[in-house]
Structure formats: structure tokens, C-alpha cells
Structure 1
């Protein structure tokens, strides 16, 4: 009997991002859930300087025992780089004659240089399948300004907002006259509530904008929506499906970074959400519509605000949702009957199927 070779899965984690630590927590769960009967794990750590290193595990990183170089924590691993057109070949930079090959890459990277299309473009050039959305869906989903404008154009309701670039003249009083009080200020292209602040007056708004510009070159000022935070998970390529709907309630002023990842008592996760069947259907339908409008593939988590008057607004879409123990994406799928391990398996299979279809496209006339 001929044994089937294991599929080599490169788990890409860490990253040059303020969400680096969240990525480590997510990656640990994904690695632990990988089906060892089908897949061979190839951990690839991206440190905060942007260096890629092959490592044995991430346990020492989670334990805070990493060495430092130029003030940046790195691992005792092999420096590597993908070769353009190399079909998954990772060259060992210390010995250019040596290589490691992967069949597919699962980027568990949050934030810039991870879920914004940059890694997805690199992997496309390298000729290796990539879990999750491709370049365009990743780039659109990461930019809250662009994604909200596309959703609005498609008739999908979003909260009123302004977007400002660094250097723009901003009349805070005029913004507040238009949007009302309070408002939320967000870096346009970050997740995990990093840099998000609530402003109650013009001086607080200016301070929040200044703080957000430390993380991004574009920021959003968004009308406050009083309501419940509802979420739905999407899985698939051409014919995606949705999970049961979940709800997050926080004891903090809003669902902050601390509430998501540090204070485990701050957030209450309710899966399935206590909403009526009609609203559940509406959430799931809008999730699929948003997924398609924003050119997503593979996976996404769609976040909503459900107002007291019953109106539903899309807050944002996340193309590489968290996979930590407190993350809603895997929890909603578990509640839908899809176990964590099978979810990871399906995501890998979807990436390989999509890659195979793309390989059939003509490249000459």
C-alpha cells in the first residue's frame, strides 16, 4: 500500500504589526488544531523587523524568552525567503543551496503587512496557495474607508463617517455637527481595536485623531451607533456558507483591545445570539452579500451593529479573523457543528482548490 505524502502547511505568524502578539496567540491554536494525519507543520515566524525565520515552535515566544537583535525579538531559527515562481520553495539564506518546501501557506497574521494584500501578493508571486482572501479582497477588507464606501455603493447600510489623511485640514467642530456626539476614531487599516478611541467633544476628537495617526496614515471618524454587536462567520470560495450568528457584549466602554485579548472577564460571548429568526436570516444574508461585494474568498468575519430600532449596520469585515481562545470566528463555527480541526482543514483545502483553478487560467494568447 502506497502511503500518501503529508501536505506541508506553512503557518505564517508574528508580523511587523501592532497586532503581532495577537497573531502569536492565534497561531498557537491553529498549529495545535492541525490534523497531523494529513498535514505536516512548517512554522514560519515573522519578527517585528520583518525577518522570516523557520522555527520548531512558538512556545518560547509565548513564554517571552526570545532573543533580541537590534532591539527586536527574534527566534533562534533559520532566516528564509520565498523564491518567486519557486512553487513554495523557501531558501535558507544562511546556505543558499538549502531549501524547505511548503505546499500551502496559512497566514495567521493580523494587521498591516499581513492581511492587507502584501503577503497575499508575495505568495502569489512565489506560486504557492494561500489560505484566505486573495490580494484584492485582503486589501479592500483591510481599509475601512474603502470597504465602507463599496458597501454603501452596493446598498449595504453602514454608519456615517469621515475619512482623513495625514496632513488634511480637519474642522473637528464641523465633523461633530455632522455626526453628533459621541464619535469613534479608528485607524483606517488596523484591527483588534488598536488605536480606537471614543470622543465626547472637539478637544477629545482632535486628541483621538492625533493618536490614531501614530498607527496609520488615514483615520476614520465614525458616528456612534448605540446597539448590540453582532457577528457572523463566512466560509468558502464561489459558494460560501455562513455560521450561526454570535453576539459580543463588553463591560468596557467599547470592545477594546484589552477586552478582546487581556481581560477575559470583560467580554461576554453569546453563541448563538439571542435574536429572532428573521434578524438572524438578515445578518447571514448581509454577511454573504458583503463577502461578495468586497471580493473576499476563503474566510471572513462580518461585524454588525444592531440598533434598538431594529436597523442593522455593517461595521467591518475581517479577512483574517482571530483564532485565539476568545475569538468569535472559530467559536461560531463550533456552534454550527464544524469542529476547530475540521475548520482548519477546510480552510487549507479551499486555498488549494482556488489555487488549482487559478493555475488553469491562460497566461498567453
Structure 2
């Protein structure tokens, strides 16, 4: 009997539209000959499974749905929710209680990596290079001159718990600082302020495939904008070069760093880590544990160059749980 796979998408953050695009791509590429596959929208106002464009409410007590007097239950969850509650691990703790396996890392690892400040703090303990940073919470008193003295200009002001570059500003002058804080606080009550690293930016996919941890071909990011922002990521305002134009030393160093972080944090499933090179040394920026799966997304492109089709990648991920 074919297993029922729920592809969960949407979420409660600014990324919900991107998540739905990613989720639909995953839905299209999971092998329908092997599995019964369903799109499930997890939104603040509703949890529904879509069948032939008809919405059926999800029973949150056991994650089932009534379909024409029949109860639909799920054997596996493919998590494609960017942001909360998928990428921060909240909904995965719920699935742990229900004993339904899922594609992502366990909820604690997801929560850790989604919190940029905590993830960077742990990465430093494992010998990973990171930018100089300053932490700020909404309501804290602060001195702009002291912050700038520590991190320098230009610098980045980022929401601590957000993705897809929502709420990020590159600050060039002291006059830009307050508007940048306002933009970031619109996304999150915690802020990360980081020094600017002037070097080649790369994105490194790390996956589990055929029972092994595999580092995918590295992508170099060349943004037309001031940094790799939302427009650059999703609206074609960047060049993504795979494989990246790196020296042998740079490629070796970033491959080791990406795999080291993945293993040190006890990750599982897909991840995509961002680095900037200073000389041959990669500086870790962040890890995405529910990377984009749209046609414009990096990880599917990297997998294809590695000779792994999206269908094979998704099948391998599902089969690993059974």
C-alpha cells in the first residue's frame, strides 16, 4: 500500500508565499507512482489539505482530515515551511508527539539554526570563523556610536529570526542606523548587527543522500544590488555561478567548514549554509534548514549539477524514514 505524504507549506511569517511556491515544486516532483502526495497549507487562519482545489480542514488533535466521510491520515511529513512554525522547529515538536516522521532535522536543531545569534555562538565554539557581531533586543537601551565602534561601517542590521532577507539593511552611515533598526524590528523583536565582510559570497548545500553526508557543488553569489537581498534572491537581481570560481584552497576550506557545521550541530535532511571569504578563510553567516525549492532556488540547482535529480533527492529523503 502506498504511503500518504503531506507536503506542508505556508507558515506564519513574511515568507509564506515563497514557502507555498517551494511546496508546490516539491509536490510536483515527489514520485506519485510510489506515494500518495497531498498539499497541506499551514496558515495562521487555517490548516487545510487541498484535493482537486477543494480545502479540507486538518484536525489538529491528530493531523488528520475528513474526506467524504473517510479519515485521511499521513505517514510522513515533507516540511517546506520557511520561517515559523516549520523552520524554527515548533511544528516538528508537534509531529514528534504524534510520532509522524518528517524530512527536517529534529526540532531543537531547527530552533537553534533558525536563531542566528545562537547558531553563530555555537559555531564559534566549534572553531568556525564568524563576523564581529552585536546583539540587541527590542526595548534595550543602546548607544549607536558604541555599536559602530565595535562592528564598524558599513554593517548589516538583521532580524534574528527571519529568512529570505526580509528586514535586512546594509548600513553605510550613522544616519541610516535608526531606519535599519525599525525595518528589522518590524520582523522580529531580536536584532543581530554584524560587521561587513568584503569578499566572495558562496552558498553551500549539505544533504544526506544514499546514507552519507554530501556537500553539493558550491554556488558563488554575485548580487546586482548592495547585498544578496530579496530582489537578488527571487527577482533575478543576482548572478548565481555553480560551481563557484574558487581557488583549490578556498573550495577545500569551505567544503570542510560546511560539513563540520552540519555534523557538529547534529543536522539532518537538507541545509544550505552561507559564507563570505576573507582571503582563503570562509566566514560563516547562517544556515538555512528549509532551503528554497522553487525553480530559482539554489539547492535544487546544486543537486542537479551533482547529478541528483530533484525526484531522486526527494525519494531518498522519504525512504530514509522507513
TM-score (norm 1): 0.84
Note if 1:27 corresponds to 2:23.
Answer: yes
Q: Is the 8 A contact 1:20 1:48 kept in 2?
A: no
Give, in whole Å, the separation in 1 of the partners of 2:248 and 2:2. Answer: 42
In structure 1, the residue matched to 2:228 is 255
Give runs of aligned pairs for residues 1-365 of structure 1, distance below 5 A: 5-49=1-45, 51-56=46-51, 76-84=54-62, 89-92=63-66, 98-236=70-208, 239-261=212-234, 263-264=235-236, 266-307=237-278, 309-350=279-320, 352-353=321-322
TM-score (norm 2): 0.95
The secondary structure found in structure 2 opposite 1:159 is coil
Alpha-carbon spacing, 1:206–1:348, altered in 2? closer, same or farther (3 Å) = same
- In the TM superposition, residue 156 of structure 1 has moved relative to its aligned partner by 0.5
- In the TM superposition, residue 91 of structure 1 has moved relative to its aligned partner by 4.0
5+ long unaligned stretches in structure 1: 59-75, 354-365
Give, in whole Å, the separation in 2 of the partners of 1:136 and 1:153. Answer: 18
- In the TM superposition, residue 136 of structure 1 has moved relative to its aligned partner by 1.0
Q: Is the 8 A contact 1:14 1:48 kept in 2?
A: no
Give, in whole Å, the separation in 2 of the partners of 1:143 and 1:32. Answer: 31
- In the TM superposition, residue 82 of structure 1 has moved relative to its aligned partner by 4.1
Q: Is the 8 A contact 2:5 2:38 kept in 1?
A: yes
Give, in whole Å, the separation in 1 of the partners of 2:248 and 2:169. Answer: 33
5+ long unaligned stretches in structure 2: none
- In the TM superposition, residue 57 of structure 1 has moved relative to its aligned partner by 6.0
Alpha-carbon spacing, 1:78–1:15, altered in 2? closer, same or farther (3 Å) = same
Farther off after superposition, 336-345 or 276-285: 276-285
Hey, which bits of structure 1, 4+ residues long, moved more than 3 A? none
Number of residues of Structure 1 aligned to a counterpart in Structure 2: 321
CA-based RMSD of the aligned residues comes to: 1.8
Give, in whole Å, the separation in 1 of the partners of 2:266 and 2:180. Answer: 31
Alpha-carbon spacing, 1:158–1:83, altered in 2? closer, same or farther (3 Å) = same
